[in-house]
Structure 1
Amino acid sequence: MNKRIITLFLTTFIVLILIVGCSNKDREMDANASSEAFNANRDFKEILKEAKGETVSFYGWGGDEDRNKWLNKTVAPILKKEYDITLDVVGMDIDDILAKLSGEKQAGLKKGSIDMIWINGENFYSAKENDLLFGPFLEQLPNFEKYIDNEDEEVNSDFGFSIDGYEAPYSKAQLVFINDSSVTKETPKNAKELMKYCKENKGKVTYAAPPDFTGSAFIRTLIYDIVGHEQFLDMKADKKIVKEKIEPALEYLRELNKYLWNEGKTFPATSGEVKNMFGDGELVMTMSYSPYSVATEIEKGVYKDTVRTFLFDKGTVGNTNYIAIAKNSSNKAAAIVAINEIISAKVQTTQFEELKELAVVSYDKLNDEEKKRFDSIKIGQGVLPQDELLSKRLPEMPANIVPIIEEIWIEEVVGK
């Protein structure tokens, strides 16, 4: 009798495993089928019809109040008026976004909660490698052909890897340094001068610890200034090789620690903290990945009108922000239409005017009226002209090199 019960139990258990396994497999097949069922190669007019009346979610970093305001107060009304699309802006750290995407994939959800994603760099590389993104869709956007220089290497490559049409350019970013000319007259033009500057202002300079995006870019900019940037563009993602090549920069960073805030024993967690410390007068220097952000802060009264931006003579790291679509997005048509509108000259102009963000549209592709609109925008105080920024714009490292450098920085620089 006991043997029969045990046998019955085991049989039932095995059947349940098979049912669950088949159920999960079916759900995964449904998710893949859902992704494949949507054809981005259709006529754009058909996609417009499908998108009408839909709500599309846009997940991205929520810490930028000005960007959130622009998305909700400017972009959302345009999408609603022109296409009857409702934009739902959701602020979330990219690590949490990727975890959510991965979790939904594992659960086999064919209709996920995320549609559009503000993503780039190593996060795009990871998401694409893990089959979390929908595409290719980029070449199906009418405004990509109309307004974007599709032969620009920076547009087609994200942190050294081809985007393969899986994301659309959104805006351009570039690291700039910031100081107050009424506090410190000098603006360091290279790593050597920065060391001298920090010695003279001991304890009043710091940077955010990686993986903070701006802090990590600052480290890469210093590495470029000390050992050059060309060698990294096709470097093998091997920790031993990378460490050997950046050793002179690691020595520099360890020496720099002596003159930083808290002697480099600890670092602020975010670039926002560094910005606040600068605003409070605790630091004499800060930095930003938004090259015109100083103008915005001066306009808002956060910074004095004596605050200004500057660059190293050899340049600073710059990159492009992108928007991708989740593979299990339930509103792919609305996402495609929304992205197409965001890269229009009309919306890109509002981004340049309201956020002081470098536009991704090619000036040469604008008509006379569109050029006039861009030319009429006053950038504001304390910033560098666009031609100087672009002339000192250095390419990003490959996405698989960046986390290696961040890991080495933690091991070799912090508290040393």
Structure 2
Amino acid sequence: MLPSFSLARRRSLLPATAALALALTGCSGASVEPAESFGTFDEVLAAADGQTVDLWMFGGDAKGNAYVDEVLAPAALDQGVTLRRVPIADTPDALNRVLSELQAGRDDGSVDLIWANGSTFSTGKQAQAWQCGWTDLLPNMQYTDQDDPLLLNDFGTPVDGCEAPWHKAQFTFFYNSDAVTDPPTTVEDILDWAQAHPGRFTYPAPPDFTGSVFLREVMLSLAGGAEQVPLTYSQAAYDQYAPAAIQALTELEPSLWREGATYPRDEQALNTLFADGEVDIAMTYGPATLTDLVGSGALPPSTKVLTLEEGTVGNASFLALPVNAADAAGAMVVANIALSPEQQAAKADPGTWGQFTVLDTDLLTPTQQNLFAQLPESPIVPDYEELSRNAHGELGSEWVPALNEAWRQDVASAP
């Protein structure tokens, strides 16, 4: 049975969030300042003992939920901190709560940590809603590469110690090797392949996260490579590079599944089309999960990852600490535990969650490196080093809504 498809999406709360952020910019917000209040991590541990940390995170990822509840939370409890997962439909929901409580003058906020990146982070930073400088106190930050661009910038916004890295992601295409015997090797080749094989390709409708990334990849490829497009959004840069991508996707539409009359609503819906043999090429920002999807029969055994010569976009997810978090010390302890080699290795196991580590394994001890060496090898997914070959970072977050809106007006509304 096919999933339902629609261009309609639940209205994002981000515009309201951004408006509230502008109203709050320049306000000091709360009195909790862990980066200044604690001189050592031992002091953090002492203050955190007995605290309950509310981690607000997207609740639609069953494996992610299970990891937090069954792996991360017990490890936090061992250090005297109760970790409570608060599931939300959209990350801006959490930031909306933080900003509303700041506007009300609360310094005992109900949000202690947020799984965040992209526009949520940049909007919160603009509003001075994040605690900054605290990540230097985390002992496990020593295992990260201090020069890793994915950890220094979040969709073009400098991290500045305002959030702790959690895991990495790499946008990846995959294909049915039984149906595609000569797979394309660039994004432009994928567009050409789709036109040569009508009905066998589609993508999620932006503003869905995966469809939005695909739109940006098309723009970067047609621009001659990611290095050609400025990281920071400007109207001039948009006018120079966006029209070619919008035109290409408009011209592609008649060759899409159902001639582009409808689009999958999200990555899961696209996976269903792929599993049912409706399309032959699909995409994901979480390639490590493909191993489990194939193993469980959710995707066919003929599934293979498509690595592109030009590389694809990668990013990192983070744990952000609101400036008015009631249990800030406990949140810092949870973020440090989440960065530990033990937790990072557990989370990287496809059977647990299948998320790429943010650690530089060259900085680990032999015993810690062995945790990663023992992870099961995937017959489907290459290791992160191969997947991220020629990778490029995300564009500034302001590019995202601008491109999504252009797609809605000019592609989705095309006659």
Whether TM-score is above 0.5 comes out as: yes
Verify the 8 A CA contact 2:53 2:331 in the aligned structure 1.
yes
SS at 1:205 equivalent: coil
CA shift for structure 1 position 163: 0.7
Cα distance in 2 for partners of 1:343, 1:36 equals: 21
Match of 2:398 in 1: 400
CA shift for structure 1 position 31: 8.1
Verify the 8 A CA contact 1:30 1:110 in the aligned structure 2.
no
Match of 1:175 in 2: 171
Q: Which amino acid aligns with 2:344?
A: Q
Q: TM-score, normalised by structure 1?
A: 0.87
1:71 paired to 2:75 = no
Instruction: Choose 396-405 or 162-171, whichever is displaced more.
Output: 396-405
Cα distance in 1 for partners of 2:30, 2:118 equals: 28
Alpha-carbon distance change, 40 to 142 in structure 1, aligned in 2, over 3 angstroms: farther
Q: Which of 178, 184, 200 in structure 2 is aligned with 1:188?
A: 184
Match of 2:121 in 1: 124
Cα distance in 1 for partners of 2:28, 2:234 equals: 35
Match of 1:413 in 2: 411
1:112 paired to 2:113 = no
CA shift for structure 1 position 139: 0.9
SS at 1:57 equivalent: strand
Cα distance in 1 for partners of 2:34, 2:201 equals: 53
CA shift for structure 1 position 33: 4.3
1:143 paired to 2:140 = yes
Match of 2:160 in 1: 164
Match of 1:44 in 2: 41
1:339 paired to 2:330 = no
Q: Which runs of 5+ in 1 are unaligned?
A: 1-28
Cα distance in 2 for partners of 1:297, 1:260 equals: 24
Cα distance in 2 for partners of 1:222, 1:149 equals: 30
1:366 paired to 2:349 = no
CA shift for structure 1 position 141: 0.8
1:232 paired to 2:201 = no
- 1:4-403 alignment, distance < 5 Å: 32-36=29-33, 39-81=36-78, 83-92=79-88, 93-144=90-141, 146-227=142-223, 228-235=225-232, 237-353=233-349, 354-403=352-401
Verify the 8 A CA contact 2:200 2:256 in the aligned structure 1.
yes
Cα distance in 1 for partners of 2:30, 2:85 equals: 27
CA shift for structure 1 position 234: 4.3
Q: Which amino acid aligns with 2:300?
A: K
- Computed over aligned residues only, the root mean square deviation of the Cα atoms, in angstroms, reads 2.1
SS at 1:371 equivalent: helix
What does the per-residue CA deviation read over 1:50-81, in whole Å, with 9 as the maximum and x for residues that have no partner?
A: 11111101111111111111111111111112
Q: TM-score, normalised by structure 2?
A: 0.87
Cα distance in 2 for partners of 1:132, 1:409 equals: 31
Verify the 8 A CA contact 1:352 1:358 in the aligned structure 2.
yes
Q: Which runs of 5+ in 2 are unaligned?
A: 1-25
Match of 2:12 in 1: none
Q: Which amino acid aligns with 2:59?
A: G
Q: Which amino acid aligns with 1:99?
A: N
Verify the 8 A CA contact 1:58 1:90 in the aligned structure 2.
yes
What does the per-residue CA deviation read over 1:230-276, in whole Å, with 9 as the maximum and x for residues that have no partner?
A: 233344x3335403322222221111111112322432332222222
Cα distance in 2 for partners of 1:203, 1:304 equals: 19
Instruction: Choose 320-329 or 262-271, whichever is displaced more.
Output: 262-271
Verify the 8 A CA contact 1:138 1:168 in the aligned structure 2.
yes
Instruction: Choose 348-357 or 403-412, whichever is displaced more.
Output: 403-412
- Across the two proteins, how many residue pairs are aligned to each other? 386
Instruction: Choose 85-94 or 183-192, whichever is displaced more.
Output: 183-192
Q: Which amino acid aligns with 2:325?
A: S
Q: Which amino acid aligns with 2:274?
A: F
Q: Which has the larger radius of gyration?
A: 1
Cα distance in 1 for partners of 2:136, 2:37 equals: 9
More helix by share: 1
Match of 1:13 in 2: none
What does the per-residue CA deviation read over 1:91-140, in whole Å, with 9 as the maximum and x for residues that have no partner?
A: 21112222222222222222121111011112211111122212221111
Cα distance in 1 for partners of 2:132, 2:369 equals: 32
